Amino acid sequence: MSFSVKVEPSGHTFPLEENESILDAALRHGLALPYGCRNGACGSCMGKVVEGKIAYSDDELPPALTKDQTAAGMALFCQAVARSNLVIETREVAEGQDIPIKKLPSRIAEMTRLNHDVMLLKLKLPSTERLQFLAGQYVDFILKDGRRRSFSLANAPHDDDYLVLHIRHVEGGSFTGEVFDKMKVKDILRIEGPFGGFYLREESDRPIIFMAGGTGFAPIKGMIEHAFASGIERPMHLYWGARAKRDLYLPELPEQWAEEHTNFSYTPVLSEPMVEDHWQGRTGYVHDTVIVDHPQLAGYDIYASGPPPMVYAGQDAFPGHGLDLEHYYSDAFEYNRD
């Protein structure tokens, strides 16, 4: 049996399955309710049940909820399951400043080479902790000597069992060198986050152009997967620029999105395809390809992520084709070299 939940004051609604927590269902449908540990110990997800009935496993109250709070209608949505249709009252996380920044230890759970110079890193947090974030934000690794290295999160907020990163090996970079040559599964790393104003503006009704360069695909991947989970129906077009075919390290994923979602399109662009690529697709600079396809950009939101020259080229060129830079959201990957 499934039930529906209405969130006040936003008016958002979502269904949830039998014995699925209210928070899990909300995140699965792209609604960012506040949370912290997701195990009932911190109280960050507390809100009010205005109408309907809820229950907890084993009929025991979670550690962070008192009997007096329960009597006043309060509940911990990370643990509460519905026993009827519900109306709940809670805030929704809309901007980065709404989320607390945490310093946490993390354990490497998986390392997978995605191509010749990109490593997928999955980090597992302690069982008592979760890191809430907006799709597109990043975390810092805090190194032993106090230095920091920033990397964007590649997963969507509803899929937060792990923190997923796409790390490109940077020539001369000691940290990325360690990732590729020394780090191993079960190593412990210290992180802080989430940070950044590069996240999806869900209140907009404008069609979206995503422009990624290299591992700039990582935060955009999280945004697109969040948009699908949220039921966003605006047209979305991803342009992914790389030097050669081998640099498009997950090309089958956006191709799959394009097959499964009628509002999504994908165009890969290579600037220097190799002979062995036998490339029949688009070539040149990715921002030029965007302009060829969309000579009038006045009605669009554009999200650009990747090497600074690409991000700044779009920033310089797109206003000449009608784009108001108020609708140009960017994340330029400045690499730290040692």
Residue 208 one-letter amino acid: I
pLDDT at 1 over 80: no
Q: How confident is the model at residue 123 (pLDDT cuts 50, 70, 90)?
A: very high
Q: What is the mean pLDDT of residues 102-115?
A: 96
Dump pLDDT digits (tens) for 236-254.
999 999 999 999 999 999 9
Task: Kindly write down the DSSP assignment for every residue of 230-246, as one continuous string.
Answer: HT--S-EEEEEEESSGG
42 pLDDT more than 60: yes
Angle 32-213-117 from CA coordinates, rounded to 5°:
100
96-195 and 208-332 in the same fold: no
The mean per-residue pLDDT over the stretch 167-194 comes to: 92
Which contacts of 316-323 are long-range, i.e. CB under 8 A and separated by 24 or more positions?
A: 317/287, 317/288, 317/291, 318/287, 318/290, 318/291, 321/291, 321/294, 321/295, 321/296, 321/297, 322/296, 322/297, 322/298, 323/297, 323/298
Please identify, in words, the CATH class of the domain defined by 208-332.
alpha beta
**CA nearest 29: which of 46, 61, 6, 60?**
6
Under CATH, which number does the domain 96-195 receive?
A: 2.40.30.10
Q: Structure tokens of 187?
A: 């190593």
Arch. (CATH architecture) of 3-89: Roll (3.10)
Instruction: Domain ranges for the chain, please list them.
Output: 3-89, 96-195, 208-332
| 141 pLDDT higher than 80 | yes
Whole-prediction pTM: 0.79
Write the pLDDT tens digit of every residue in 9-29. 989 999 998 889 999 898 888
Contacts with 262 (C-beta within 8 Å, 6 or more apart), sequence order: none
HSE-up of residue 271 (Cα within 13 Å, Cβ side): 13
The mean pLDDT of 39-57, rounded to a whole number, is: 88
